Amino acid sequence: MNIVSVVRFLASVAWMAAAVLIALAVGRSAQRKPARRLWKTGLGLLLAAAFLTTLAAGLVFIPPEMRGVVISAVAPQGYRQEPLAPGLHWIVPYAETVELYPTSKQTYTMSAKTEEGQIYGDDSIEARTKDGQRIFMDASVIYSVDPAHVVEVHLTWQGRYTDDLVRPLVRGIIRDAVSQFRVDEVVSTKRFELRDMIYEELRDRLAENGLILHDFVLRDINFTPEYAQAVEEKQIAEQRAQQARFLVEQKKQEAEQLRQMAQGEADAQIIRAKGEAEARIIQAQAEAEALQLIAQVLRENPDLLTYEYIQKLAPGIRVMLVPSDNPYLLPLPDVTAEEGSAAPTPTPSPTPPPEAGGE
């Protein structure tokens, strides 16, 4: 409760008390009883009540979120050119009055939902796109009265700036902006561009009328049932096409995977074949070199072959006959000779005599 309210309350109490006392004084006077003191007290309260009422009429308290426009009967223009700032002020009683205007942020919403906006029922904004499609938009405008232009707002719009300025201005600017875009751009690629275009135009137009635009919210965009159904069918078709492309791509990947596996198997077989071939070549080269070495050793040691041959014989063989064209018997070691005794040296047999002729 501010001081102005206190003064008005005291003035009301004084008026009531004065009325009661005067009524009592009248009653006592009618009964021919002394009422002089009641009359004096009642008149004093009347004067006090009149003074307090006049004081209350001259005091004005402006809240922090408000500005006051003084309508004056004594000013040449009929109003004070400067608005009253927040705080306690004095005006000419009964000759001046104050109109309060809020400078805090206000929100005006237009929505298709019944109880969401300032107007009950469907208050969405119908607009037509560049390609002739109807759309319905829900929007909110956050604005405030410019404290420096409160007097101009009062002179131009009084308290009608919300219904007579903000609402029609927003709806008209939205319709003009939507008409520059196709319907697919409004709902997808150009939505933010559309919002910025509306914001900039609305900001400038409100500023010309003493209002400050703080934000513009594009809440929702709806279509006619026919277009919504067409969009849904198109999206379903695109999803099916995308799924078909995905399946084709999957089959391609599977085929490519099988091809790579077959290619890998073929490469592995080729590598194995090359490895086996190189192994055979290396083995053949090693065998050839080994044979060359053997041949060289045999050329240098002719008896080595006979020695190796003897080493391969069974240990129980004592004598071995050779063909008749062999000039001698191969000497064999005595494998039964006792350890430490010398084995008899076999006498090589000369070439066998020719067979005797018949008698």
Q: What is the pLDDT of residue 232?
A: 65
Q: What is the pLDDT of residue 172?
A: 94
Please determine, for residue 14, whether its predicted confidence score (pLDDT) is greater than 60. yes
Sign of CA dihedral 155, 160, 165, 170: positive
Nearest to 107 by CA among 191, 219, 30, 197: 219
- Residue 134 placed within a domain: yes
Q: What is the pLDDT of residue 351?
A: 46
Please determine, for residue 318, whether its predicted confidence score (pLDDT) is greater than 80. no
- Residue 261 placed within a domain: no
Tell me, yes or no, whether 113 and 175 share the same domain.
yes
Q: Which tops the pLDDT comparison, 355 or 321?
A: 321
Tell me, yes or no, whether 136 and 75 share the same domain.
no
What CATH number corresponds to the domain at position 115?
Answer: 3.30.479.30
Tell me, yes or no, whether 16 and 55 share the same domain.
yes
Tell me, yes or no, whether 209 and 119 share the same domain.
yes
Which of 81, 102, 123 is where one domain is finished?
A: 102
Tell me, yes or no, whether 135 and 91 share the same domain.
no
Please determine, for residue 319, whether its predicted confidence score (pLDDT) is greater than 60. no
Which of 51, 85, 102 is where one domain is finished?
A: 102
If pLDDT is split at 50, 70 and 90, which confidence band does 219 have?
A: confident
Tell me, yes or no, whether 96 and 148 share the same domain.
no
Q: What is the pLDDT of residue 63?
A: 92
Please determine, for residue 346, whether its predicted confidence score (pLDDT) is greater than 70. no
If pLDDT is split at 50, 70 and 90, which confidence band does 340 have?
A: very low
| Helix, strand or coil, per DSSP, at residue 299 | helix
Please determine, for residue 357, whether its predicted confidence score (pLDDT) is greater than 50. no
- Residue 98 placed within a domain: yes
Domain extent for 94: 3-102
Nearest to 238 by CA among 186, 184, 190: 184
Residue 71 pairs in a beta bridge with: 79, 97
- pLDDT-wise least confident of 23-32, 265-274, 300-309: 300-309
Q: What is the pLDDT of residue 203?
A: 95
Tell me, yes or no, whether 78 and 123 share the same domain.
no
Which of 223, 258, 290 is where one domain is finished?
A: 223
Tell me, yes or no, whether 116 and 213 share the same domain.
yes
Tell me, yes or no, whether 90 and 162 share the same domain.
no
Nearest to 214 by CA among 141, 164, 287: 141
Tell me, yes or no, whether 164 and 202 share the same domain.
yes
Q: How many domains does the chain have?
A: 2
Tell me, yes or no, whether 59 and 163 share the same domain.
no
If pLDDT is split at 50, 70 and 90, which confidence band does 315 have?
A: low
Mean pLDDT over 63-89 rounds to 92
If pLDDT is split at 50, 70 and 90, which confidence band does 358 have?
A: very low
Most confident stretch, 148-152, 281-285, 333-337: 148-152
Please determine, for residue 339, whether its predicted confidence score (pLDDT) is greater than 80. no
User: CA-to-CA distance for 162 and 199, rounded, in angstroms?
Assistant: 17
Please determine, for residue 292, whether its predicted confidence score (pLDDT) is greater than 60. yes
- Residue 179 placed within a domain: yes
If pLDDT is split at 50, 70 and 90, which confidence band does 342 have?
A: very low
- Residue 252 placed within a domain: no
Please determine, for residue 57, whether its predicted confidence score (pLDDT) is greater than 60. yes
Mean pLDDT over 137-148 rounds to 94
Q: What is the pLDDT of residue 1?
A: 58
If pLDDT is split at 50, 70 and 90, which confidence band does 40 have?
A: confident
If pLDDT is split at 50, 70 and 90, which confidence band does 152 have?
A: very high
For 352: left if phi > 0, alpha if psi spans -120 to 50, otherwise beta; the answer is: beta
- Residue 301 placed within a domain: no
What is the overall mean pLDDT for the chain?
82
Q: What is the pLDDT of residue 204?
A: 95
- Residue 250 placed within a domain: no
CB-neighbour burial class of residue 357 (10 A; exposed 0-12, middle 13-18, buried 19+): exposed
Q: Are 334 and 344 in contact (CB under 8 A)?
A: yes
Q: What is the pLDDT of residue 212?
A: 96
Please determine, for residue 355, whether its predicted confidence score (pLDDT) is greater than 50. no
Q: What is the pLDDT of residue 72?
A: 92
Please determine, for residue 68, whether its predicted confidence score (pLDDT) is greater than 90. yes
Please determine, for residue 214, whether its predicted confidence score (pLDDT) is greater than 90. yes
Tell me, yes or no, whether 94 and 51 share the same domain.
yes
